[in-house]
Structure formats: structure tokens, C-alpha cells
Amino acid sequence: MTGGGDRAVMDTVQQRLAFLSTQPFTWRSRPGPRRRRRPPLSASRATVTACVLSPDAVAERRVRVTVCGGGSFGSAMAFLLGSNGYPVTLLVRREAVAECINAERRNPRYFPADGDIRFPEAVRATTDVAEALRDCDLCVHAIPVQSSRAFFEQQLLPHWRPGTPILSTAKGIEAGTGQFLYEVLESLQPSHLSPLPTAFLSGPSFADEMLRQLPTAAVVAARDATLRRALAEMLSSSVFKVFRSSDVVGVEVSGAVKNVIAVAAGISEGLGLGMNATAALVTRGCSEMRRLARRLGARSVTLAGLSGVGDTFMTCFGAQSRNRTFGFRLGRGEPLTHILETSAQTAEGVHTARALVRRIGELYPGYQPRRLEMTFPVLLSVADVLEGGVEPRQRLTDWMRMPSGSEN
């Protein structure tokens, strides 16, 4: 027979089971490694806006697009969206360029007269900002970073229709403030208007190859999931594949820093140091890019994707790369002022390298200069060379003599 003590235990168990049967069931997962919590977003970053690009408007090609900037990439974006069936207005600076686009369907600066590249009939050009933004449903921003703030403040915002999304293709850091473009846009949002719905396009995409309709893949980043889905659908075609990301910081930081790494790669090639040295510089530069981006809250997977190593490889080794070409000429011994005066297009890596010195110092306030040089030797060396403080070959020698540690 069961003793009194055992009966008391059984009674207690039965009472406990009866109590638990009256409680709601909650699943608790097996204990495991704790996930790293992301840093909290600022008030402006945390705001998620409703997307005005409805699925029906996107599917029926009723979204009216304005591309701001008639440079090579702005022209490529107008060509892409026009080829996908969307009505596009291309805002350019020169009346002669607008007339040529409207009459001959080509940008005279980038489309050879005897070539076969022509804008679709859906594309038209204008020099009038008010006209370009009238009834605009989507604004594609393809203006260099250093000119972006003035363009937004003086030209775009006075004609802005609240709620209109902006898709930025510019990459870099504003020299005067050290801000990435996503931060510049956040700082420009008027307090009396609803926040600007913003997205950012990046990845290995030379404008010339896009115009020739060669296969290209890119990533569009936005915090609004509806917006990035709509943009991916609008941009995608049989020759242009678009992936989506919510990591705006990672896409923007990698898109800017890769230009500085490309300048370093060009310098190495200009000095005739060989592929071993160039590959080492690019690889370690990517490590520094990841370190900086993670400090700002980016995800590592973004740095390993199209906007990170993908765009970096293309910019560092592609013959069409403006930043690589700039570094190559510098490595060959051309004076910096002469390169700047004779370059047909903007090499954003020059401004970005200088701005990075300030931004890195702000992100690592407790680091002494020597420790910063050990942490970001490639990025800071490019800035030193551009400032004329050291010869490129001497800086590389200094880098090779630094103490070696674990690869990270």
C-alpha cells in the first residue's frame, strides 16, 4: 500500500496539474545562443512611411518617374525605366542636351551619334525643375553627393509633393558634414511635412553596360517593405535583376567606402606593384569597410552582397571605373590638381576619403591616431596621399611594415 507521505505527494501533483490545465498554453523555445540586439533607431530612422506606389499603378505602368541628373547613370536609369514601360522625365542642366534627347532620342554626351543606343519613346527631357516634378510619382536622384544638399534645398523641395518617394543612386559622403547620403536626406526633411519615403539603389552596375542591356544585378534598400517591393518590380527586367534589403546603412556605407578602396587599387596598379599587392589592398580595404559599417549598425551579410564586395570588385578592377582610373593616374605620378581638372566625370572617392577621416574620428573618440592607423590603414592612407602628406609608395611600405596579427 501507498504510504501517507506518497499520498500527500500525489495529491500535490494532482492539484498542480489541475491548476495548470486552467492556464493558457504558451510555447517556449529551447534555450539557445542569444541574438545580438541592434542599436535603437533614431526617431527619424524609425519612421516608416506608407508607400504611394500602389501595386496596380506599378503593374499597369501608370507610375510617372522623374530622373534628376542627366549624367551617365541618370541616363541609364531613364533608359531602364523607359524600356520597362514607365513614362520618364529626365531633368538635365543644358537646354541643348534636352533638345537632343527629345529630337534624336540620345544623350549627346554618352550616346554616340553613329551608335545604336536610343532612349525609348517613353523618355523625354527638360531643364525646368517645376515641369519635371509636376505630377511626379517617383523621383530618381542621380546627382553627385557633393551637390545633393544644395539641389534638394534650392530646387527640389520647393516643388515637392509630400509623400513622393525618392530612389537615390548617388554614392559617397558629404565633405562638409561627413554624413552619408541617407543621413543628408534625413536632415533635410521639413518638420511641417511628412517624412520623405527614401530608397537606395546600389550594386555592380556600370552605366555603359546598362545602356547596352548587358545582364546586371543590383540591390534596392528601403526601410519600408512596400516601397522596396514596388521599386524592385519597376526596375526588374530580363537584363536587370533587383534584390531587396532593409539594411539602408549597410548599402549606403559600402557604396561610399568602396570608392576609396578603388582609389587605393588604382594607385597600386599605377605604381606597377602587381596583382598580389592590389588584391591584398582590396581585401583588407573590404575588412575595414565591414568594420566601419558594423560600427554604424549595418549587417555583415550586406557587406558580403552586391552593394558590398560585389560593387567593390567591379569598381576596383573594372576598366570603366572612375575611381580606379583616378588612383591609377595618381600612382603614375600625375599631379592631383591636373587629374581633377582633366577628369570628365566625378570620382566620389576623392571627397569620400577626406570625409572618412572626420567620420572615423567621431566614431572612435577614444582612439589615439596610431591606433586609428592600425585599425583603418587602407582608408586613412588614401586620405594621406590625397592630402599630399606622403608619397603613395612610401605609404604602402609603411603598411607592409605594420605588425601583423590575426586576420579579422
Which amino acid does the sequence have at 3? G
CA 257, 260, 265, 269: dihedral to nearest 10 degrees? 160
Q: Is 266 annotated as a binding residue?
A: no
Choose the catalytic residue: 258, 284, 290, 395: 258
pTM of the model: 0.84
- Here the cell at position 81 is 525605366
Contact 123, 101 (CB under 8 A): yes
pLDDT tens, the chain, 408 aa long = 445 555 665 666 566 555 554 554 444 444 444 444 444 334 334 344 445 688 889 998 999 999 999 999 999 999 999 999 999 999 999 999 999 999 999 999 888 777 889 999 999 999 999 999 999 999 999 999 999 999 999 998 889 888 899 999 999 999 889 999 999 988 887 665 667 899 999 999 999 999 999 999 999 999 999 999 999 999 999 999 999 999 999 999 999 999 999 999 999 999 999 999 999 999 999 999 999 999 999 999 999 999 999 999 999 999 999 999 999 999 999 998 899 888 877 788 889 999 999 999 999 998 888 889 889 999 999 999 998 767 888 888 888 888 777 777
Percent helix, strand and coil across the chain, each to the nearest 5: 50, 10, 40
Contact 111, 117 (CB under 8 A): yes
Cα(308)–Cα(382) distance, integer angstroms: 19
Q: Is 250 annotated as a binding residue?
A: no
The verdict on whether 241 is a catalytic residue reads no
> Edge-to-edge, what's the strand order for the sheet holding 88-91?
123-126, 88-91, 65-68, 138-141, 166-168, 198-202, 216-221, 240-245
pLDDT digit string, tens, across residues 151-182: 999 998 889 888 899 999 999 999 889 999 99
Q: Which residues pair with 245 in a beta bridge?
A: 221
Q: Where are the alpha helices (DSSP H) in 271-386?
A: 275-295, 300-303, 311-317, 322-331, 336-342, 348-363, 369-375, 377-386
Q: Is 194 annotated as a binding residue?
A: no
Q: Is 72 annotated as a binding residue?
A: yes
Domains present along the chain, CATH in parentheses: 52-246 (3.40.50.720), 250-400 (1.10.1040.10)
Residue 253: partners with Cβ closer than 8 Å, 6 or more residues away: 180, 289, 292, 293, 296, 298
Cα(105)–Cα(123) distance, integer angstroms: 8
Residue 154 to residues 126, 160, 379, Cα–Cα distance (Å)? 18, 11, 33
Q: Is 322 annotated as a binding residue?
A: yes
Cα(33)–Cα(262) distance, integer angstroms: 38
Phi then psi for 153, rounded to 5 degrees? -70, -45
Q: Is 163 annotated as a binding residue?
A: no
pLDDT digit string, tens, across residues 332-378: 999 988 998 888 777 888 899 999 999 999 999 988 888 898 899 99
